[in-house]
Structure 1
Amino acid sequence: MSKELPKDVIIDILSRVPVRYILRFKSVSKSWYALFQNPKFITKHFQNQITNSDVTALDASFIFTPNKSTSPAAAAANRNVGLILSDSDKPVKIPIKIDIPFLIISKPLRVCGSCNGLICLSILPIASIILIWNPATRVFKDLPISPIDRPRAGPIKVVLGFGFDDATNDYKVLRIVYFGYPLNQVEMYSLSTNSWKEIKTRVQFLIFESSCSVFLKGKFHWTAIGFEEMHGKKLIVCFDFREEAFHYIMPPEFDFNGCDSEGEDSSMSKVSWTAVALKDSLAVIGSAGNGSGKRFEVWVMKEYGVVSSWTKFRSFDLQTKIGRPLGCGLKGEFLVEKDDNQLVLYDSDSQRVKNLGNHGVAYWSDVFNYVGSLLPIKGGKIAQKTNLSSVVPDAFFVRRMDLNID
């Protein structure tokens, strides 16, 4: 009598196993290899990873560009990303280093977005190369050069957003090219068509260089300064990948003992805040204070897009020299950075503070949530040095100062 488990039970068990182990099981049998390529299994596996209540089984983490050094030589070698496991006592880097032989480009990678296990990477300072990468499967795709006509003036700044359009089942990259207000261009790349298209819209805001960015509810969010009718106010700007349009969201009114949301002078320092995702809701982390500690307020938007639904979720003090909040984990834990580049993970439920050591985040890097997945990348290829040698930068986004003179 056969003692094997039923096939559907085996599939259910495997769908709950972290992706790093699934990849090891690919060589067990041909049937398992085929199963791991099945789109239905891939989707089921990923859904189980993000909904699993067992912390030890959750393959979730923060992903970012690590702060190695400010020297040009070290920056040029900074072609890997950093990973911090939420349930680990020690920070762990992804054991994959993308060492791209750009030949003439000597700038580091920047993490620009994370969605469903896929990562968007760009080359600093103004995204002359853009990649979509699955760190778990090592599959990557370099985006083609955009055919859109450019003005003669070179770009001053480039901002990227990466997300998923569930209406078309398509991954998209938004690129905002600043030439100097009011001249700018907005374009969007579609992975399904492997092409760029221009989006005719006005950009009436300036996105901050280093702030928390978040993809949530089909929209990519940044913190920014609004122009014209926004009168220079700090706000949240989001781009809806389905509507292909920008929207504004005003922040809540913070309650820092007389220090209002505009940062008026008070007994504390000016209020600073940044947008994050708290589980499945848009939220902001506000902070005020100086010296040896800071006070934090976390506000959650109960009804997405409705400013009046901002509700204070939690407030807490950290008696340490905190530089900036970096993000919120999938289970509600907060990642903050000390003034000396030390990272701290704070669990507001247990009020536990975990010191993560000297693994700071580069000042120009955002921090995103990452959950490993088996999701394929259409037109992608395995990240090997021989394959990457054919990656060509977009000449329009290469500045003379970025070239090696050797």
Structure 2
Amino acid sequence: MVKPYIVFHRNQCLTLCTFQNPSQNLIPSPPMSKELPKDVIIDILSRLPVRYILRFKSVSKSWYALFQNPNFISKHFQNQKPNPDDVDGLDSSFLFTPYKSSSDATSNRNVGLLLSESDKSIKIPIGLDIPFLRFSKPLRVSGSVNGLICLSILPIASIILLWNPATRVFKDLPASTIDRPKSGPIKVVLGFGFDEATNDYKVLRIVYYGYPLNQVEIYSLNTNSWKEIKTRVQFLIFESACSVFLKGKFHWTAIGFEEMHGKKLIVCFDICREAFSYIMPPAFDFSDCDGESKTSWTVAGMKGSLVVIGSSGNGSGKRFEVWVMKEYGVVSSWTKYRSFELQTKVGRPLGCGLKGEFLLEKDNNQLVLYDPDSQSIKNLGNHGVAYWSDVFNHVGSLLPIKGGKIAERTNLSAVVPDNFFVRKMDLTIQ
């Protein structure tokens, strides 16, 4: 008996190869290239999500070799790269650090990947076994760019990793050689982005020692080294501020010092110019809400634009406003995009999907996806997002990491922490 093997591409399906007798463990036969030209098959495969590509590696030796080919990897990446003007067929994937329950002692070594078309999240296990270091503190997702993820160890990033969960390739960042003050760090903020001008992945690290003493440095994957940026940091970035990388800049919610008089604002860092700036948020219109209700807001990215999600009210009946910056960097261009009220008990907004959906947190760590166009709410289940966790859009890729190594069964036991960021309380008692 021959069973067809179907490859789905969005709303279409094509038979590319066949399976032999299903009793023989569904071993695939070679692709039926006589039915479709090779270039057509390659084009179809390059349009499939990376999770399907990984399944098809065992179809044949030729397909396995194809998926390792740099030209195919580049073609696949370009086809998977989100286009703000064409999101049809794309599914939103949210990457975050899962909430750790008392009954799940291993969850601090997982990364959560939530697919909007599913009601179940995927846990990506990462085995970290450093003999002399405690791992009572969890991993933190510090960014996702082009399918690559930046991970760090809380609370002050003694370990920073670049990681491609699809290929299992990782790279641990080297220790910085810049001079440090004698006092230890009290807070570290990370950002992970891609510098298109130099075709380089970079990690920004802001180290707070106590205002006004701080250090700013950037790691370059091209040079595999850190360099210090001599600049003043006049902002205190919130612990739970979501890092948004957009238009070549990092964005966080923060408190501004000195001439900013302690105002809450959006602080930006240009990865190319290596300079800070800031943007004031819009003036929200919650005038008909309870006068005692406080307005809170968070920054996000949506369809290539900077947005701010504001909320007011408590419990059920909470109101939300979404403002879009029509002309980037121009405060007067803030425009109200959506306003809606949800009767269910909803807490903080967590981010925006590729199609403009809003990921929100309900009580009991439940997550919901709100579609403002259809005004529908989809329950995504009790997954749990750590209260300090950023939530990032993630699109998988096959892109390599320069100088990276393949993790054996996701075990990264060879990773060595940066001693300057290791606190005594984090060391294992000998």
Considering the TM-score relative to the shorter chain, is it more than 0.5?
yes
- 1:21-57 per-residue CA deviation (whole Å, 9 max, x = no partner) reads 11222343444334323334323322322247444xx
Aligned equivalents of 2:382 and 2:57: distance in 1?
Answer: 36
Query: Do the aligned partners of 1:170 and 1:191 also contact (CA within 8 Å) in 2?
Result: yes
Which deviates more, 198-207 or 11-20?
Answer: 11-20
Query: Do the aligned partners of 1:18 and 1:59 also contact (CA within 8 Å) in 2?
Result: no
Match of 1:354 among 378, 383, 386: 378
Query: Do the aligned partners of 2:270 and 2:276 also contact (CA within 8 Å) in 1?
Result: yes
Residues 1:67 and 2:95 are matched in the alignment: no
1:81 aligned counterpart, secondary structure: strand
Aligned equivalents of 1:54 and 1:302: distance in 2?
Answer: 22
Query: Do the aligned partners of 1:68 and 1:74 also contact (CA within 8 Å) in 2?
Result: yes
Residues 1:291 and 2:315 are matched in the alignment: yes
Matches within 5 A, 1:110-189: 110-189=140-219
For structure 1, list consecutive stretches of 5 or more residues without a partner in the other structure.
260-265
Aligned-residue offset at 1:74:
5.3
Residues 1:92 and 2:92 are matched in the alignment: no
Query: Do the aligned partners of 1:171 and 1:190 also contact (CA within 8 Å) in 2?
Result: yes
Residue in 1 that maps onto 2:43: 12
1:45 aligned counterpart, secondary structure: helix
Q: How many residues align?
A: 393
Query: Do the aligned partners of 1:98 and 1:383 also contact (CA within 8 Å) in 2?
Result: no
Aligned equivalents of 1:9 and 1:137: distance in 2?
Answer: 25
Residue in 1 that maps onto 2:226: 196
Identity of counterpart residues, as a percentage? 80
Match of 2:264 among 220, 228, 234: 234
Counterpart residue identity of residue 83, structure 1: L
Residue in 2 that maps onto 1:364: 388
Aligned-residue offset at 1:211:
2.4
Aligned equivalents of 1:21 and 1:355: distance in 2?
Answer: 25
Aligned-residue offset at 1:299:
0.3
Query: Do the aligned partners of 2:67 and 2:73 also contact (CA within 8 Å) in 1?
Result: yes
Aligned equivalents of 1:141 and 1:38: distance in 2?
Answer: 21
Match of 2:130 among 102, 106, 112: 102
Query: Do the aligned partners of 2:91 and 2:354 also contact (CA within 8 Å) in 1?
Result: no
2:208 aligned counterpart, secondary structure: strand
Q: Report the CA distance shift for 1:39/1:304 in structure 2 as closer, same or farther (over 3 A).
A: farther
Residue in 1 that maps onto 2:245: 215
2:332 aligned counterpart, secondary structure: helix
Matches within 5 A, 1:275-286: 275-286=299-310
Which deviates more, 287-296 or 325-334?
Answer: 287-296
Query: Do the aligned partners of 1:236 and 1:275 also contact (CA within 8 Å) in 2?
Result: yes
Query: Do the aligned partners of 1:101 and 1:385 also contact (CA within 8 Å) in 2?
Result: no
Residue in 2 that maps onto 1:381: 405
For structure 2, list consecutive stretches of 5 or more residues without a partner in the other structure.
1-32
Residue in 2 that maps onto 1:333: 357
Counterpart residue identity of residue 98, structure 1: I
- 1:149-198 per-residue CA deviation (whole Å, 9 max, x = no partner) reads 11000000000000000011110000000000000000000011111000
Aligned equivalents of 1:297 and 1:212: distance in 2?
Answer: 18
Aligned equivalents of 1:234 and 1:399: distance in 2?
Answer: 31
Aligned-residue offset at 1:5:
2.2
TM-score (norm 1): 0.92
Q: Report the CA distance shift for 1:313/1:203 in structure 2 as closer, same or farther (over 3 A).
A: same
Aligned-residue offset at 1:77:
5.0
Counterpart residue identity of residue 33, structure 1: Y
Counterpart residue identity of residue 12, structure 1: D
Residue in 2 that maps onto 1:262: none
- 1:105-143 per-residue CA deviation (whole Å, 9 max, x = no partner) reads 312100010111111000011000000011111111100
Aligned equivalents of 2:424 and 2:267: distance in 1?
Answer: 32
Aligned-residue offset at 1:384:
1.9
Residues 1:37 and 2:68 are matched in the alignment: yes
Counterpart residue identity of residue 144, structure 2: S
Aligned-residue offset at 1:239:
1.2
Aligned equivalents of 1:169 and 1:297: distance in 2?
Answer: 36
Counterpart residue identity of residue 313, structure 1: Y
Counterpart residue identity of residue 172, structure 1: K
Query: Do the aligned partners of 2:140 and 2:151 also contact (CA within 8 Å) in 1?
Result: yes
Residues 1:301 and 2:301 are matched in the alignment: no
- 1:188-238 per-residue CA deviation (whole Å, 9 max, x = no partner) reads 000111110001000000000012221111111111010111111111111
Q: Report the CA distance shift for 1:204/1:329 in structure 2 as closer, same or farther (over 3 A).
A: same
Which deviates more, 115-124 or 30-39?
Answer: 30-39
Q: Which has the larger radius of gyration?
A: 2
- 1:319-349 per-residue CA deviation (whole Å, 9 max, x = no partner) reads 1222210000111110111233211111111
Query: Do the aligned partners of 2:171 and 2:401 also contact (CA within 8 Å) in 1?
Result: yes
2:316 aligned counterpart, secondary structure: coil
Residue in 1 that maps onto 2:414: 390
